[in-house]
Each structure stands twice: as C-alpha cells, then as structure tokens.
Chains A and B, each alone.
Chain A
Amino acid sequence: MAPESQPMFDTDEIVLNMGPQHPSTHGVLRVVLRLDGERVVGSDVVIGYLHRGIEKLCENRDWTQIVLLTDRMDYVAAATNNVGYCQTVEKLMSIEVPRRARYLRTIMCELQRIASHCLWLGTHAMDIGAMTVFLYAFRERELILDLFEEYCGARLTYNSMRIGGLPLDIPPGWDKKVLAFCDIMDTKLVEYEQLLTHNRIWLERTKGVGVISAEEAVAIGLSGPPLRGSGVKHDIRKDEPYAAYDEMQFEVPVGEAGDTYDRYLVRIEEFRQSVKIIRQAIEGLPEGPITGKVPRLIKPPAGETYHAIESPKGELGYFIAADGKSTAPYRFRVRPPSFCNLQALPRLIQGHLVADVVALIGSVDVVLGEVDR
C-alpha cells in the first residue's frame, strides 16, 4: 500500500509508512498506519525483511552445527536460544544433564534476561524521550557482555551450549565477578526507578496506553512480560521448570491493568528476580562434570517433540522431528515469542495516537531477527 501522494494536505485519511527504516521500530519492521489526523484508524504490520530461512538451513545441518544458527535468531538473548535448542535435543535423546551444567545454564539464562531487559528499557525510554535511561541501561548491559566474553569469547553470538551440557567450564573467579555484577545491578535498578517509575510524564505516556485484558492476551497468543502484564500468572520457569529452576526460589511478577505501565513494572520486577536467582545459583553451584553421556556422533532416535522455555520475550518453543537415520533434524521449527507478541500490535495500537504506536512497539519488545527467522 504505497502512500498515495496528493498535491496538498487534505483532512481525510492519510497513510503513513512507519518503517522498515525508522528510528524506533527496533529493526526492519514496517507498520503501515492509516491515520485520521493523529489517531490510528487501521494498521498492517509487514515483516519478512530479515527472513534468512533459519529453519530450512537447520534442516540441512548437523545437530551440533545448529547451535550456531540459534544464536542468530533472538540476537539480544542468544544464550537462551542455545539452552532452548539443546534441551529439546536432550529431551529427544533423553540425555541426563549433570547438575552443575544445569546450574550454569540457569545463570546464563538469567544474565541474558537482564541484558535483554536492559536493551528493552533503554530503547523503550529513548522512544518516549527519556534519553538518559538509554545510556544507563547500556552501561549495565556492557558488564553482562564482558561476563559472556570472558566465558565464551563472544559478545553477541555466544555458541555457549552443547547438546548434553556446556562446552567448557567457567573460568576461575568468574562466579565472583557475577556476584559483583549482581550487587552493582541492585544499586542501578534504584536509579532507573528514580528516573521513570514515579515520573509524572512517564506515567502520563504509559498509563492506560495499549490496554489488553487477560482473556484477550491469552487468546491472541501473547506470552512473557506482555501476557503477565495483563494479570495472567504463566511463567514456564515456574509451570514447567527446566535447567535448575525447580531448585530456585523466586516470584513471578504480574500486572493488573495490562497497559504499557504494567508491562514496564513487570519487567523492572523481573530484573530483581533474575538477580535473586543468579545469587542463589552462584552460591549453590555444585561441583561435578559439565556434560552428560553424549555419543560422539549425535543421532537422536526417530520421533518428534515440542519443548518450550521462558526467554526474556516470552515462550520460546522448539518443535524438532528426527528421522533416526540422518545426522540432521528432519523438521526444525521455532515458536518465536516476538513473532506471536507482534501479532497483537495492530490490536494494541488501534485508536491510539502516533506517539503511542512508538511506545507500544517498545512495550511489546520485539527483536526482528526472531520474528523473521
């Protein structure tokens, strides 16, 4: 729907193309808005600009080579993708992962959640005009990237997991550094809250914007913080515990009104819960091997399974079918949380103003690498 170009501005509907190249669409997302003045009358989300065909690629790669490709889907939380994939294959081959590896996986997932939420907070606040929070959030994210760089040598695409456990043990002193990071994070969270949570302008820009009820959120397939923001207490870490989450004590933050402000509060509380989990996991880190009994040439028996984990964006599910003979999965399917959360965008922005569309894209927190795969 290319915008029709009238010579002069007339007051009926105009079509505005937000994206695919736009400062606040967090990647190559195109939202075609039909506006009546400032109000959004209708919208259509156009995606697919970053489609690399990862699912098809994985169906032509070995089981171990696929870990690399899962890094590149949600590039903001790469370790979570790796954990999700490895656990699905371990479930297929019913491999028992040693306790130390499960603890380390939990720590990595929670560190990745904090890093992803830092990026969300920074860009979300920047879109609504609070520039300083962006710099603060990225300063903390740098600390996490350093931790990951020390562990697996990379800052973005970690390749940090292997089927059956971890490729290498954590360097000495790494756990001390993680604890140090947790202390810093607690003080910095107070800074974020001071800047935003009780800020009148922030309240005015986020309260009552993009309200969605619990039933509607479940029906349209929202998951993760957007779903919990509407009051649905569903967190896969609690409902279907994986890695070492069954041994961790933490609460699942839930909002009430289901507006942008509640989603913001849910994610800010998730920061704290993640720090709490990391502390418990580091203190209780058991000794022992870091990989289970894994055959040298990985060939899962014929069969298929669906395994979901709680990524920072929502329910990240892997549906993998093996045919028992070839060294590549027969069917490799990813249920990306950003894709399903983005589906709710037209419903959320209906009737709002252009400025709210920007706030809502930030509030739904999508990563286009995961949406387009």
Chain B
Amino acid sequence: MAEEPKAPASPAGTPSAKPAPAVRKPAAAVAPTGPVDPAPADDVEVPAWLVALQAAIPDGVTQLTYWVGDWTVIVPAGRLLEVGRHLHTGGFDFCSDVTATDWPLRAQRFDMIYALYSIRDRNRVRIKVRVGEDETVPSVCGLWPAANWLEREVYDMFGVNITGHPDRRRILMPDDWQGHPQRKDYPLEGPGELLMENPLDWLRLKQAAQEADIE
C-alpha cells in the first residue's frame, strides 16, 4: 500500500568523484514527487490508542506510518477535526508544532503536519493531511489555541488555505508581501519579476538550466 517513490526524471546528484567544490551545492536536481511514508514493519506493535483511533473513526485514517520511532497518521482533510477531537480527548493536549511541506510536482501539493504530544502519557504522534493549492484545510485553533500563530506562519510561508482561523494574517513577512517564501518554487534569492507572473514556468526554466549545467 506504501507509495513507491517514482524514479527521478534525471540522473541524481553531482558527480561523486570530485570533492564538493563550491561552498553551496546546487539544490536537489529535481524535487521528488512526494514523501516516503514507510508502513510500519510487521514486528512493530501498534500502540493501543492508535488501534482505538482506527476503530473509532474507520475511514479517518487513510494510512499509518512508523519511521525511526515516530508514529504518523495520514488523515483526509475532511476528517481532520474529528480525528483531532478524538486524539485531544484521548490525552494529546499539547500541540507542539503545526507546519507544512511543499511537494510542487504532486497533485495535492502541501502536506500539513500537526505534531501532537500527550503530557500525561508522554507519547507523540504526527497527523499529516494532504492539501492541494486550491483546497482548504480547517483550522485546529478550536482544539489547540497553540496552533493560532503556527497556522498563521504556515499561511504566511506556504499560502495553504486555512479556513476558520480567528485571525489569519501574515505573521513574519510584511502584510503587503507578494508570494509565499518557503514554497519550493520561490527562489532562494528573493522574488524576481518572472516569479511573480508564472511560478511553474520559472521552475521548469530553473531545471532546464541545471540539466544544461550537468552536461
């Protein structure tokens, strides 16, 4: 059921013989299509509260992953609040982090990641929600007020459409800033003119330049 990572379009990485010359290595040749969400190996025993979650909301959890000791629950955007409420009453009262990852070449572009912690039982879980650029994700400020600023930063940096947020404004960038800096298609050196009009053309241009550089 785990999604096989597609082989990247062009040969990977820099020639290994030569030691790394420039101070800054060129960024990844091609942005891979999506995260690796390894399914839990069979010898790993699923904790009770996760089993309870899957039982309580059968179609709430599309996938369960386990990697270097972390449990992640992949949830459709529609069921996020339901799963959140279940976990919140189940003891996960501390929302330590809300962030996002940008996979530009994937249909549902963003991964919203909610890192939760239970102070009483001392265990952690991450909820991951796949959101497209034009789709919306409900705000979890109702369940965890801590997420207020964290979601504002995700909106500011990634432009994920978060609905139901009490005060959705930019938090780090100036209010009239164009574009969302932490998207992969946002150039490191800041907004040029081309980016403003058509980000995807800019991305293809950049990849073409890199391939030419490699030959």
Contacts and interface: CB of A to CB of B under 8 A. Distances in A.
Interface residues of B, number: 53
B115 A317 contact: yes
A372 interface: yes
B67 to A, nearest CB: 5
Contacts of A328: 25, 27-28
Interface string A288-316: 00000000010000111110100000010
A13 interface: no
B63 interface: no
Nearest to B5: A302
B8 interface: yes
A234 interface: yes
Contacts of B157: 55
A220 B143 CA distance: 10
Given A325-B8, A328-B27, A302 B36 contact: yes
Interface stretch (B53-61, B79-87, B144-152): B144-152
Q: Choose among B28, B32, B96, B99 the residue with the greatest number of A CB atoms under 10 Å from its CB.
A: B96
Contacts, number: 135
Interface in B12-44: 12-13, 16, 20, 23-25, 27-29, 32, 35-36, 38
B148 A51 contact: no
Interface residues of A, number: 51
A84 to B, nearest CB: 13
B149 A92 contact: no
Interface string B94-129: 111101011000000000010101010010101000
B188 interface: yes
A204 interface: no
Interface in B135-192: 144-150, 153, 157, 170-174, 181-182, 186, 188
B78 to A, nearest CB: 24
A328 B27 CA distance: 7
Interface stretch (A136-144, A253-261, A262-270, A330-338): A330-338
A325 B68 contact: no
A302 B36 CA distance: 6
Nearest to A234: B119
Given A219-B146, A303-B38, A62 B119 contact: no
Interface of B: 5, 8, 12-13, 16, 20, 23-25, 27-29, 32, 35-36, 38, 67-70, 93-97, 99, 101-102, 113, 115, 117, 119, 122, 124, 126, 144-150, 153, 157, 170-174, 181-182, 186, 188
Given A53-B181, A303-B68, A306-B96, 17 more contacts: A48-B172, A48-B174, A59-B27, A61-B25, A92-B68, A218-B93, A240-B122, A306-B70, A306-B126, A324-B5, A325-B13, A327-B20, A328-B25, A335-B96, A335-B99, A343-B149, A373-B172
13 contacts: A53-B182, A55-B182, A56-B186, A91-B68, A94-B68, A221-B94, A240-B122, A305-B67, A306-B115, A319-B97, A321-B35, A328-B27, A340-B146
10 closest cross-chain pairs (CB), A and B? A221-B146, A326-B28, A302-B36, A48-B172, A335-B97, A331-B101, A333-B99, A51-B172, A343-B149, A303-B67
Interface of A: 47-48, 51, 53, 55-57, 59-62, 65, 91-92, 94, 218-221, 223, 232, 234, 239-240, 297, 302-306, 308, 315, 317, 319, 321, 323-328, 330-331, 333, 335, 339-340, 342-343, 372-373
